[in-house]
């Protein structure tokens, strides 16, 4: 078997940066990405057979761990009937029915192939429905790589955004306003000034793309309030949080009524699936019922629907979530205790089955600026010490960690012990 190093060199010949999604390249932490050969339960195995306890979980989808028998068997069974038909299937109805039954804000849903497609389509729909162009997003939130959403904050509060990638037209950035996460007053000010031009707010109800940042009390409620008052739509981007806070999403957990919701990751059980949905009168604007165009050759793919349905069935079982929440909390508590004992300034955020660790003296990390002020160098060294010890964390200090139902108490203990050894090396 080739080593990761050999494969990385080969990969770079014909794949930009050797990867099909940038963060996989270990650019932030340095070193060679782990090339994975197979995965099972809480573990991934590299091409040389080394086992890692995995807290990335394919960037969130594998809520039940890797290679879950129910999902694997559903995929095998369905694939024996053909891979794609380009026609409607009963599987799509079953998954749509189930999603609308459990997600509070969804009366209708359209399947797509990625989170990016879901958010891009939801934005188009919100603009069409309201007849307005401006959208509001938050610094540090990621909603996929469509042009309108690849925008960072401008120079001051209330300024319109600037493209965060070459190739995004400045005219599009002019329509995206980027505000500070967890700053309810900033949102009120923006709406006081521009509310009649704003089509929607799109927000991660718990931010998972600037490490893990839960909403401050009242923040999501303020978003709902200003949207209702100004006629803008509230889009909860639950691509990451969907089914990671229980069956009813972060919106169920926090009791926030959304107009549109985007889903991805868990809903496909590891297959490429996204979805957007919401209130019936809004969703009825989508083609072919309404004039807002949105389509996909492979959307609602039968194999992907079978994987999603099998996933929904497993996670709907009584008692699925409680041990998972508990284990996530135990990991955070264990990491904090180990850091304290070794005299390392470190804190965690724990939210449902998502978590984040921060090398900082600050007691609470609530927004992007605070995340960026943490000790990144220290995280990068920590990451590599954990990797050597067989623990696979996200290869960047601004990514959330994920727990699965396949992680055992022993996995948590050995992860905490590996962290303790790493912290001890910092302090010695």
Active site residues: 142, 237, 265
Q: Closest approach of Cβ 142 to ligand PMP, in Å?
A: 5
User: Which residue number is nearest to ligand PMP in terms of Cβ?
Assistant: 115
Q: Closest approach of Cβ 172 to ligand PMP, in Å?
A: 18
Q: Closest approach of Cβ 208 to ligand PMP, in Å?
A: 6
Return the range that interacts with ligand PMP (CB under 6 A); candidates 136-144, 280-288, 366-374, 401-409: 136-144
Mask for 97-126, x = binds ligand PMP (CB under 6 A): -----------------xxx--x-------
Mask for 226-255, x = binds ligand PMP (CB under 6 A): -----------x-xx---------------
Q: Does residue 208 belong to the site contacting ligand PMP (CB under 6 A)? A: yes
282 within 8 A of 233, measured Cβ to Cβ = yes
- For ligand PMP, the closer of residues 33 and 144 by Cβ is 144
Whole-number Å distance between alpha carbons of 327 and 153: 36
Q: Does residue 59 belong to the site contacting ligand PMP (CB under 6 A)? A: yes
The only residue of 41, 127, 137, 143 in contact with ligand PMP, by rule CB under 6 A: 143
Q: Closest approach of Cβ 229 to ligand PMP, in Å?
A: 25
E strand spans, 41-161: 43-46, 51-54, 108-112, 134-138, 151-152
What's the DSSP call for residue 301? -
Return the range that interacts with ligand PMP (CB under 6 A); candidates 161-169, 188-196, 202-210, 372-380: 202-210
383 Cβ contact list (under 8 Å, min separation 6): 29, 393, 395, 397
The only residue of 26, 43, 52, 142 in contact with ligand PMP, by rule CB under 6 A: 142
384 Cβ contact list (under 8 Å, min separation 6): 29, 30, 31
Q: Closest approach of Cβ 179 to ligand PMP, in Å?
A: 16
Whole-number Å distance between alpha carbons of 172 and 170: 5
Q: Does residue 144 belong to the site contacting ligand PMP (CB under 6 A)? A: yes
What contacts 24+ positions apart, CB below 8 Å, involve 45-53? 46/4, 47/1, 47/2, 47/3, 47/4, 47/7, 48/1, 48/3, 48/4, 49/1, 50/390, 51/390, 52/387, 52/390, 52/391, 52/392, 53/390, 53/391, 53/392, 53/407, 53/411, 53/414, 53/415
Chain contacts with ligand PMP (rule: CB under 6 A): 59, 114-116, 119, 142-144, 204, 208-209, 237, 239-240, 264, 274
């Amino acid at each position: 078997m080739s080593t990761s190093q050999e494969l990385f060199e080969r990969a770079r010949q014909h794949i930009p940066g050797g990867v099909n999604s940038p963060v996989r390249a270990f650019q932030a932490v340095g070193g060679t990405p782990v090339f994975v050969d197979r995965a099972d339960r809480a573990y991934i195995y590299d091409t040389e057979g080394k086992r890692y306890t995995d807290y990335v979980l394919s960037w969130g989808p594998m809520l039940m761990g890797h290679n879950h028998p129910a999902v694997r068997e559903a995929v095998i069974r369905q694939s024996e009937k053909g891979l794609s038909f380009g026609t409607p299937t009963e599987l799509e109805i079953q998954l749509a029915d189930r999603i609308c039954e459990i997600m509070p804000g969804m009366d209708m849903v359209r399947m797509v192939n990625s989170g990016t497609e879901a958010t891009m389509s939801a934005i188009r729909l919100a603009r069409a429905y309201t007849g307005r162009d401006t959208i509001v997003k938050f610094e540090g939130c990621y909603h996929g790589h469509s042009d309108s959403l690849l925008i960072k904050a401008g120079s001051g509060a209330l300024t319109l955004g600037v493209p965060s990638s070459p190739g995004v037209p400045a005219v599009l950035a002019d329509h995206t306003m980027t505000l500070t996460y967890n700053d309810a007053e900033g949102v009120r000010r923006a709406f006081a000034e521009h509310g009649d031009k704003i089509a929607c707010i799109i927000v991660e109800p718990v931010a998972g793309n600037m490490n893990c940042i839960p909403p401050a009390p009242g923040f999501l409620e303020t978003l709902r309030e200003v949207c209702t008052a100004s006629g803008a739509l509230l889009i909860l981007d639950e691509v990451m949080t969907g089914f990671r806070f229980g069956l009813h999403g972060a919106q169920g957990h926090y009791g926030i009524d959304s107009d549109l919701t985007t889903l991805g990751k868990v809903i496909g059980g590891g297959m490429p699936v996204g979805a957007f949905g919401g209130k019936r009168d809004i969703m009825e604007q989508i083609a072919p019922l309404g004039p807002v165009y949105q389509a996909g050759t492979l959307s609602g793919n039968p194999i992907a629907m079978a994987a999603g349905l099998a996933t929904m069935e497993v996670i709907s079982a009584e008692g699925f979530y409680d041990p998972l929440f508990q284990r996530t909390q135990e990991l955070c508590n264990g990491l904090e205790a180990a850091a304290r004992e070794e005299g390392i300034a470190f804190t965690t955020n724990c939210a449902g089955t998502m978590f984040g660790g921060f090398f900082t003296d600050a007691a609470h990390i609530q927004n992007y600026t605070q995340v960026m002020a943490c000790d990144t160098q220290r995280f990068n060294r920590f990451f590599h010490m954990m990797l050597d010890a067989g623990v696979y964390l996200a290869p960047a200090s601004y990514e959330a960690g994920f727990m699965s139902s396949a992680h055992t108490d022993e996995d948590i203990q050995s992860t905490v012990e590996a962290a303790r050894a790493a912290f001890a090396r910092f302090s010695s």
